[in-house]
C-alpha cells in the first residue's frame, strides 16, 4: 500500500497493520508497548500453568505460552515498525524526537533490569540460607567453553560500537562489516550456550530440577539467552536496513537504541557469569 505525505513524498509502500499507530485518535500515544507487555506477562503465566499441569491440565500451559509468545512478537513488530520504520524517509531528525525514543528504550531496559533483579534476588535469598550446597550433579562450571563464549559476547559489543562510530562518520562499508561481525558473534554465542546445555543435561544429568541452584542457573541463563536471540533478530533487521541504505550520519536512531539493548545484554551476562559460574562454589 503506497501513500503520499502532505509534502508530496511517497511513503515507500508501507503496509498494514503498523502504518499508523493503533488505535487511531490518540495522537502520539501508542498501544503497542501495552500489547508487548501483555504478551510478556502471559508467558510467565503460561509457565506457571505448565508447572501446575496436574491442576489445570497438560495442554493449558503450553497453549498459554504459545499464544503469549505470538502476542509478544506482534507487539514487538508493531512497536518497532511504528517507532522506527513508518515515515522513515519523511521524519524530521530533531533531537527532541530522538530523545523521546531513547528514553523509551531506557524505560524498557529498566523493566528488563527489574526482571533480572527479581530472579537474582530469589537466588541470593536462598544462597544466604544455612546449609547451602551445590547439587551433586553440578558439573565444573568454569571451562574453556564459558570463557570463550564470554569473550565472544564482550567482543560483540566492541564490534557493534565500531559499526556505530563508522556510521556516524558516514563510513557505510565499515558499518556493515561491524554489524555483520556482531551478528556472527551473537550466533556463535547462542550455539555455545546450546552446546553447554547439551553437555550439562546429557552428560552430567544437571537440569533445572536440581534444587534452587539448578532452577536459578537455567532460569537466568535461559532468560538471558532469550534476550540474546531477540537482540540478534533486532541487529539482523538493522543490518538489512543498512544494506538498503536507510541509515546515514544524521539518521541512525534505531542503530543507537539497538546498541543500547545489546550493551545491556552484555553487561547482564558478565554479572551472571560472576554470580552463577565463578562464585557458585564459594
Last residue of a domain, one of 60, 91, 122: 91
Specify whether 155 is located in the same domain as 257: yes
C-alpha cell at 81: 515498525
**pLDDT tens for residues 70-112?**
888 888 778 777 766 665 555 554 554 556 666 767 777 888 8
**pLDDT tens for residues 113-168?**
888 888 888 888 888 776 677 778 788 888 889 999 999 999 999 999 999 999 99
Specify whether 268 is located in the same domain as 160: yes
- Rounded distance between C-alpha atoms, residue 164 and residue 262, angstroms: 12
- Rounded distance between C-alpha atoms, residue 188 and residue 1, angstroms: 38
Instruction: Estimate to the nearest angstrom the gap between the alpha carbon of 28 and the chain centroid.
Output: 25
The DSSP secondary structure of 111-149, one letter per residue, reads: HHHHHHHHHHHHHHHHHTSTT----TT------HHHHHH
> Nearest 5°: phi and psi at 10?
-70, 140
Specify whether 87 is located in the same domain as 105: no
CATH number of the structural domain spanning residue 225: 1.20.120.80
Mark out the alpha helices in the chain (DSSP H runs).
32-51, 53-56, 60-80, 95-127, 144-168, 172-202, 211-243, 253-272
Specify whether 241 is located in the same domain as 122: yes
Specify whether 233 is located in the same domain as 263: yes
Give me the mean pLDDT over the 188-213 stretch.
88
- Rounded distance between C-alpha atoms, residue 156 and residue 153, angstroms: 5
The domain of 236 spans: 96-278
Is 197's pLDDT higher than 70? yes
Give me the mean pLDDT over the 165-186 stretch.
94
Last residue of a domain, one of 71, 91, 111: 91
Is 5's pLDDT higher than 90? no
Specify whether 18 is located in the same domain as 131: no
Tell which residue, 156, 159, 271, has the closest CA to residue 223.
271
C-alpha cell at 97: 524526537
Last residue of a domain, one of 91, 123, 155: 91
pLDDT band, residue 10 (cuts 50/70/90): very low
Q: How many domains does the chain have?
A: 2
Specify whether 238 is located in the same domain as 160: yes
Nearest-Å Rg of the Cα atoms of the chain is: 21
C-alpha cell at 94: 530533531
Specify whether 123 is located in the same domain as 55: no
**pLDDT tens for residues 13-66?**
444 444 444 444 444 557 777 888 888 888 878 878 877 777 878 788 888 888
Is 182's pLDDT higher than 60? yes
**pLDDT tens for residues 222-281?**
889 989 998 998 899 889 888 988 888 777 788 888 899 999 999 999 999 999 988 876
Specify whether 116 is located in the same domain as 81: no
Give me the mean pLDDT over the 196-208 stretch.
87
- Rounded distance between C-alpha atoms, residue 85 and residue 254, angstroms: 9
C-alpha cell at 64: 498459554
pTM metric for this prediction: 0.71
Specify whether 14 is located in the same domain as 154: no
On average, the pLDDT of the chain sits at: 80
**pLDDT tens for residues 91-102?**
554 554 556 666
Specify whether 77 is located in the same domain as 211: no
Specify whether 191 is located in the same domain as 83: no
85-88 long-range contacts, Cβ below 8 Å, gap at least 24?
Answer: 85/14, 85/18, 85/241, 86/11, 86/14, 86/18, 86/19, 86/20, 87/5, 87/11, 87/14, 88/12, 88/246, 88/251
- Rounded distance between C-alpha atoms, residue 199 and residue 35, angstroms: 37
Amino acid at each position: 500500500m503506497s501513500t503520499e505525505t502532505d509534502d508530496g513524498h511517497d511513503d515507500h509502500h508501507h503496509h498494514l497493520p503498523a502504518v499508523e499507530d493503533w488505535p487511531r485518535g490518540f495522537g502520539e500515544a501508542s498501544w503497542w508497548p501495552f500489547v508487548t507487555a501483555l504478551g510478556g506477562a502471559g508467558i510467565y503465566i503460561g509457565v506457571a500453568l505448565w508447572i501446575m499441569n496436574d491442576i489445570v491440565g497438560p495442554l493449558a500451559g503450553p497453549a498459554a505460552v504459545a499464544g503469549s509468545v505470538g502476542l509478544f512478537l506482534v507487539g514487538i513488530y508493531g512497536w518497532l515498525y511504528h517507532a522506527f520504520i513508518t515515515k522513515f524517509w519523511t521524519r524530521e531528525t530533531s533531537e527532541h524526537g530522538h530523545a523521546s525514543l531513547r528514553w523509551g528504550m531506557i524505560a524498557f531496559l529498566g523493566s528488563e533490569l527489574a526482571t533480572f533483579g527479581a530472579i537474582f534476588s530469589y537466588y541470593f535469598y536462598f544462597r544466604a540460607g544455612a546449609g547451602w550446597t551445590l547439587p551433586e550433579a553440578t558439573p565444573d562450571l568454569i571451562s574453556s567453553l564459558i570463557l570463550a563464549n564470554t569473550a565472544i559476547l564482550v567482543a560483540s559489543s566492541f564490534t557493534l560500537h565500531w559499526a556505530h562510530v563508522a556510521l556516524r562518520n558516514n563510513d557505510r562499508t565499515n558499518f556493515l562489516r561491524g554489524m555483520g561481525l556482531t551478528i556472527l558473534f551473537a550466533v556463535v554465542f547462542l550455539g555455545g550456550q546450546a552446546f553447554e546445555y547439551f553437555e550439562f543435561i546429557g552428560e552430567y544429568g544437571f537440569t533445572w530440577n536440581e534444587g534452587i541452584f539448578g532452577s536459578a542457573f537455567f532460569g537466568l541463563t535461559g532468560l538471558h539467552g532469550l534476550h540474546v536471540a531477540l537482540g540478534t533478530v533486532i541487529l539482523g533487521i538493522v543490518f538489512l536496513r543498512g544494506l538498503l541504505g536507510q541509515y546515514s550520519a544524521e539518521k541512525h536512531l534505531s542503530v543507537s537504541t539497538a546498541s543500547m539493548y545489546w550493551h545491556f545484554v552484555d553487561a547482564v551476562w558478565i554479572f551472571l557469569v560472576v554470580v552463577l559460574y565463578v562464585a557458585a562454589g564459594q
